[in-house]
């Protein structure tokens, strides 16, 4: 839909709701603004201030729309929105992780965005990112940021250990990690046992948790066993930090890396702001960003992540039109460029990669990693659910030595069969 047509439709719907709702405090009485709510799942400390500032810009440019900003912790958002949507109490706009979008579209919680003000110039989006926002051929999310996992490395620590370049494969990573421990007095590598961070070990063996096209569960395949066996080998190797499976493991990993206590981690661009604020990276050039190491196939792979902005399907026309206008503005190239410069995140529109954006520390490096090794997630609504507690618990048992790799992955496959019963 062209912007002029969208604006006309929005104005008409604002007038309609003003007539229908009266002075209910939520929608345009006597020409007042429509009030929409946005649940944002970004980091409340480092990212949210940017979004709050952008809302003020949007409201100034769109006096007929007020936006109520609510920051919802990422680890609570999926369950919270699912519950709210089922009771007609969801926000007008939700920042949805790419893995949630298809699932919520399947449940009819989200409005279609094709041909609306939410998706101006869809051809400018990276095609694979737009595809991840679709379900059964329709688009239910506007990509706002993208990401992937990369190997982050402390150049000073590797140099002290006699290495000027990052490892190309997992075996080389173990060698370098041992040298860092021996010569630099720090841990060489930190293993994050979360299933999402385990995907590079599967991708490096040419497999995934499932083969969506074939309708087959592959988390217990020989290739997957090989990948997780390599992960277990790294956990037990000299130079690897002690496995942390506490509730605060992620924070402990970040603290160790930013303060120079560990030389290498696997991480996404969403932590760049925090990392550059750490004592080990006072000089930003000390941070190395490289593709994740390759598996035995010689290939490296990491999941394509990111977030979309989606519109709740259960509100009235006026609120949906206002929400779509907001989504289109927030995911425009101009706005994405501002977000990237402020938060160190990767835009989803090609035209948002301006000279200023690519000059920002870390952005060009991650953009290259995204092009080289990122793999789009399969078009499967249940994919993000497969990365949940059952897989996590089995991985913990495997890495702690409480069960074998084969038995742990077999048990995971059995749990997957309950989530995707049509898969073999």
Angstrom distance (rounded) from CA 33 to CA 18:
9
Q: In sequence order, what are the residues at sequence separation of 6 or more whose Cβ sits closer than 8 angstroms to the Cβ of residue 226?
A: 205, 295, 296
DSSP, residue by residue, 330-367: HTSHHHHHHHHHHH-PBPSBGGG--HHHHHSTTHHHHH
How high is the pLDDT of residue 237?
Answer: 98
What pLDDT is attached to residue 13? 39
Instruction: Write down the number of H helices and E strands in the chain.
Output: 18, 14
Q: What are residue 307's DSSP bridge partners?
A: 97, 145
pLDDT along the chain (424 residues), means of 10: 35 35 43 92 93 98 97 94 91 95 94 98 94 94 97 98 98 98 98 98 98 96 98 98 96 98 97 94 97 97 96 96 98 97 94 95 95 90 93 98 98 97 91
What's the pLDDT at 88?
Answer: 79
Q: Which domains does the chain have, with CATH numbers?
A: 3-147+305-366 (3.40.190.10), 149-303+380-419 (3.40.190.10)
Burial class (CB in 10 A: 0-12, 13-18, 19+), 309: buried
């Amino acid at each position: 839909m062209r912007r002029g047509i969208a604006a006309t439709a929005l104005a008409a719907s604002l007038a309609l709701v003003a007539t229908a709702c009266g002075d209910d405090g939520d929608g345009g009485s006597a020409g007042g603004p429509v009030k929409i709510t946005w649940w944002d799942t970004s980091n409340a400390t480092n990212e949210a201030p940017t979004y709050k500032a952008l809302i003020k810009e949007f409201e100034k440019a769109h006096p007929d729309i007020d936006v109520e900003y609510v920051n919802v912790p990422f680890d609570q958002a999926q369950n919270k929105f699912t519950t709210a949507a089922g009771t007609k109490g969801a926000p007008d706009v939700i920042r949805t992780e790419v893995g949630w979008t298809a699932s919520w579209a399947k449940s009819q919680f989200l409005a279609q965005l094709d041909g609306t003000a939410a998706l101006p110039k869809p051809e400018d989006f990276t095609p694979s990112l737009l595809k991840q926002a679709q379900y059964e051929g329709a688009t239910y999310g506007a990509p706002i940021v993208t990401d992937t996992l990369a190997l982050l490395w402390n150049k000073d620590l590797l140099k002290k250990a006699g290495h000027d370049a990052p490892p190309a494969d997992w075996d080389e990573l173990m060698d370098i990690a041992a040298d860092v421990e021996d010569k630099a007095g720090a841990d060489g590598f930190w293993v994050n046992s979360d299933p999402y961070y385990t995907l590079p070990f599967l991708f490096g063996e040419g497999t995934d948790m499932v083969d969506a096209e074939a309708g087959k569960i592959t988390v217990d395949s020989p290739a997957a066993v090989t990948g997780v066996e390599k992960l277990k080998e790294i956990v037990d190797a000299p130079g690897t930090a002690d496995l942390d499976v506490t509730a605060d493991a992620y924070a402990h990993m970040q603290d160790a890396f930013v303060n120079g206590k560990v030389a290498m981690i696997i991480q996404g661009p969403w932590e760049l702001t925090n990392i550059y604020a750490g004592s080990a990276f006072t000089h930003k050039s000390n941070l190395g960003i490289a593709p994740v190491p390759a598996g035995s196939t010689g290939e490296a792979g990491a999941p394509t992540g990111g977030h979309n902005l989606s519109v709740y399907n259960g509100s009235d026309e006026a609120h949906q039109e206002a929400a779509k206008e907001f989504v289109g503005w927030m995911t425009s190239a101009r706005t994405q460029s501002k977000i990237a410069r402020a938060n160190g995140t990767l835009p989803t529109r090609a035209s948002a990669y301006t000279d200023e954006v690519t000059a920002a520390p870390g952005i060009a490096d991650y953009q290259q990693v995204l092009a080289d090794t990122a793999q789009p997630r399969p078009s499967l609504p249940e994919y993000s659910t497969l990365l949940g507690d059952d897989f996590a618990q089995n991985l913990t048992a495997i890495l702690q030595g409480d069960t074998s790799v084969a038995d742990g992955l077999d048990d995971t496959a059995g749990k997957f069969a309950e989530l995707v019963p049509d898969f073999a």
